[in-house]
Amino acid sequence: MRVLLAGGAGYVGAHTAIALIEAGHEAVLLDDLTNTSGLVTERIARITGGRAPLVAGSAAHVDDVERAFAEHGPFDSIMHFAAKKAVGESVEKPLDYYANNLDTTYALLRVGIANGIRSFIFSSTGTVYSDPADLPFTEEATRNLVDLSNPYSKSKLMNEVVLADVQKVNPGLNITLLRYFNPVGAHESGLVGEDPKGTPNNLMPFVARVAVGALPEVGIFGDDYDTPDGTGQRDYIHVVDLAEGHVAALEKAQPGLAAYNLGTGIPVSVRELVASFERAVGHELPKSVKPRRAGDLAATYCDPSKAEHELGWKATRTLDDMTRDVWNWQQKNPGGYEG
């Protein structure tokens, strides 16, 4: 199948492009390159021996999406990765998050449906679940917009509502909601990984920058949560496992609306992640405890069994695999793709 990956030059998109090509599909990337590099396409080619053409443009602009269809269509499916994703930043810049994360969906749906796509696979998030008492989160766990703590999560849940309504009036269309739980890791080759611009907002790339000497210390935001070691717990999933989940969703897609958690189901604390990274590096990293960040929750982790039963997919890579691969990427690319 031929797939348009909106935000496809980004972290999860690039790894999914690799997984698609290796599974025998065709991948075309649409990306405005604001938080990645066009060099990712040549890295994908080196890994797979195949091409993933890049259309430079915004998934929020109908004209750019139409150009991707005109130059590389028709497409069987759209995978939508084009979103701003930092919880803390979303609290500070809510308008940026609502505008980008909703406008991209509108443009992709309008053009995709007009051009006869059969499936639309959406990058949602495990932070759409709003009641901590539901842990571990199943796909039926509480999702209440008012109770969500930040605009990032709210924008994702708003998208899910939009997509459900669109599917009702397009009954032949498959819409799959993939609720991610903290993607980390990198391709084992060290050629493709996470390369955020500026200071990273997410924990793993921040720790990697500290390990390579680009940042002074790891900030642990809060050590007084109601968790075993006081630090926040998350369900970290290797980005290659996550990419393979997208391929499974594509290949199993049937008309209708479906939602799946993509995670390991294993809660890992901030201190546990940092300790794993220290094992990969071979020495301790400088770190200090800082105040909690607005919008952060004590713990989020999932029950991923539905994806295993219905998609035949299961995460297999461990936390130490994740930190090892990030360290390999960071050592080989201390300044990112352009460094």
182-198 per-position pLDDT tens digit: 999 999 999 999 998 87
pLDDT value of position 16: 98
pLDDT value of position 188: 98
Q: Which residues of 49-64 are buried (b: 16+ CB within 10 A; e: fewer)?
A: ebebebbebbbbebeb
Handedness of CA 221, 225, 230, 231 (dihedral sign): negative
Q: What is the mean pLDDT of residues 66-73?
A: 98
Contacts 24+ apart (CB under 8 A), 46-52: 46/189, 46/191, 47/18, 47/187, 47/189, 47/191, 47/192, 48/18, 48/21, 48/22, 50/21, 52/5, 52/8, 52/17, 52/21, 52/27, 52/28
pLDDT value of position 234: 96
Please report, as a single letter, which amino acid is at residue 290.
K
> Taking all residues of the chain, what is their mean pLDDT, rounded to a whole number?
96
pLDDT value of position 197: 81
Range list of H helices, 79-230: 87-92, 94-114, 151-168, 203-211
pLDDT value of position 202: 84
Q: Rounded CA gap, 274 and 232, in Å?
A: 12
Say what the pTM is: 0.96
* pLDDT > 80? residue 295: no
152 given a catalytic annotation = yes
40-49, 114-123, 186-195, 289-298, range with the lowest pLDDT: 289-298
Distances in whole angstroms, Cα of residue 98 to Cα of each of 7, 74, 214, 258: 16, 29, 31, 23
Q: Which of 97, 129, 152, 180 is catalytic?
A: 152
Q: Rounded CA gap, 206 and 198, in Å?
A: 10
The token pair at 13 is 């998109």
Q: What is the mean pLDDT of residues 296-301?
A: 88
**Pair 333, 268: CB distance under 8 Å:** no
Task: For 4-54, write each residue's pLDDT tens digit.
Answer: 999 999 999 999 999 999 999 999 999 999 989 999 999 999 999 999 999
DSSP 172: T
**Pair 265, 235: CB distance under 8 Å:** yes
Q: Rounded CA gap, 99 and 34, in Å?
A: 15
61-65, 130-134, 185-189, 194-198, range with the lowest pLDDT: 194-198
At 294, the pLDDT band (50, 70, 90 cuts) reads confident
At 70, the pLDDT band (50, 70, 90 cuts) reads very high
- Using only C-alpha atoms, the chain has a radius of gyration, in whole angstroms, of 19
* pLDDT > 80? residue 79: yes
**Pair 158, 103: CB distance under 8 Å:** no
The token pair at 162 is 């939009």
Q: What is the mean pLDDT of residues 239-267?
A: 98
